[in-house]
Structure 1
Amino acid sequence: MKIKEVEQNTKIWFEQWILKLNLCPFAHHVHAKKQIRFEIETTKNIHKATEKVIAELNFLENSKKEDLDYIDTTLLVFPNLFNKSNLQGFKDFTKFYLELTMYLEKNNLDVVFQLVMFHPNLVYGGESENAPALFTNRSPYPTLHILREESVTKAGLNHPDVISIPDKNIEKLETLYENHPKAFNWLKSFKK
């Protein structure tokens, strides 16, 4: 798979799904300021993937707000890893995510960063595999979103009702599915 194709598909997903549907109301600000980094890691090796995440955490930690090319957040995409068919790829990615979360805690980085995972085969809570609610965290490829805790806190303080965002997203996607079920086809096409 070509890096440019993966990056393009990820940006289309981000702009047409996350931004256009306003699934993350905080994303517009950093996107407009070009403070989102899209990194594609093509390794098929779990240890190299872990090294890449740690390198990205270091990169973000060294990116200062006063820098002209300041990066606030990274979408780290793994197109060649965690993509096994059915649920196994998602289970492997979940395990990877949990290990990274423990790494953050062990190194006191959980007060600096938080991770959010996206996956084409994401399932949870006994939902049907095509339940619209799952598409809040479905992406074309296994993706880790590395966020700065400070930015998340600041954005939350400036939002009138952070707690309702997940429920509103589910409602929004269920309505979209009822009225335009084909809108989900492009994203479904990445499901293994």
Structure 2
Amino acid sequence: MPTEAQVIAAARCWVEQVVLKHNFCPFAHKPVRNNALRYVVSQAGDTDRLVQDLIDELLLLRDADHGRTATTLLVTPDCLREFDAYNRFLDLVDVLIAQFNLQGVIQVASFHPDYQFADLDPDDVRNYTNRTPFPMFHLILEADIERARADYPDVGRIPEDNMRLLQRLGLEAARRQLAACRDAPGEA
């Protein structure tokens, strides 16, 4: 079992060596540069505890000083290891967003080691736009998304551009990148 430091190191590696390096999300640079990306490891071994951790993080982000905490990566190394279970859990995430009146306030993006888009084969390199060392939920302030969209000329092209970049990179290189992050050493 990885330690919390190892999980954070893997998540940080993925953000820096995949997302930022390849500019998968042009909006990620600012919160990382401003140290406003919060990394949180859920110790949940079951979905009941994970629900509570997710609620805690949603409310914390809602109420945070957004100059200091603009976005959160909630990483869950011991829960939802199977992609189908993770994907089903996303329906509950939507329920929680509605239950706490956070529609239009916080958006949740999904990432998983076995992420698979519905129309792609499991080994299609394009799935690696959303593959991470561990299951993750990216909690993002909608206001930040809207500000970023105003500054970015064509937001709709980002996913397609990312998939084309991965096709040029190749499946083996994408696998090596993810494995390198999964094996990133954590602080002692």
Tell me if both proteins adopt one fold, taking TM over 0.5 as the criterion. yes
Letter in 1 for 2:39: F
Once residues 19 and 26 of structure 1 are traced to their aligned partners in structure 2, the CA distance between those partners, rounded to angstroms, is 9
Contact 1:41 1:78 in 2 (8 A): yes
Q: TM-score if structure 2 supplies the norm length?
A: 0.90
- 2:183 maps to 1:182: no
Residue 168 to residue 2, structure 1, CA distance change in 2 (3 Å):
same
Contact 1:73 1:146 in 2 (8 A): yes
- The offset of 1:65, in angstroms, is 3.6
1:35 corresponds in structure 2 to 36
Decide whether the 8 Å contact of 1:120 with 1:188 is kept in 2: no
Letter aligned with residue 173 of structure 2: K
Match of 1:98 in 2: 91
Check whether the contact 2:126–2:166 (CA below 8 A) recurs between aligned residues.
yes
- Offset from partner CA, 1:71-96 (integer Å, 9 cap, x none): 0000000000111xxxxx11111111
Contact 1:116–1:144 at 8 Å: present in 2 too?
yes
AA matched with 2:70: D
Equivalent residue number for residue 161 of structure 1: 154
Q: Which residue of 1 aligns with 2:186?
A: none
Which residue in the other structure is 1:72 paired with? 70
- Give the whole-Å Cα distance in 2 for the aligned partners of 1:10 and 1:27: 14
Distance 2:167 2:105 in 1: 34
Q: Per-residue CA shift, 1:85-124, capped at 9, x if unaligned? A: xxxx111111111111122123321111000010001112
Query: 5+ residue gaps in structure 1?
Result: 84-88
Q: Secondary structure at the match of 1:81?
A: coil
Closer/same/farther in 2, CA of residues 126 and 161 from structure 1, 3 Å limit = closer
2:169 is the counterpart of 1:172 = no
- 1:1-192 alignment to 2 at 5 Å? 1-65=2-66, 70-83=68-81, 89-177=82-170, 181-187=172-178
| Partner AA of 1:150 in structure 2 | A
Aligned-partner residue type, residue 3 of structure 2: K
1:163–1:126 CA distance, 2 compared to 1 (3 A)? closer
User: Root-mean-square deviation (CA), in Å?
Assistant: 1.6
**Counterpart code for 1:82:** L
- Kindly state the Cα deviation for residue 59 of structure 1 after the two structures are TM-superposed: 0.9
Identity over aligned residues, as a percent? 28
Partner-residue secondary structure (3-state), 1:43: coil
CA deviation map 1:123-167 (0-9, x unaligned):
122312121110010000000000001101111111011111111
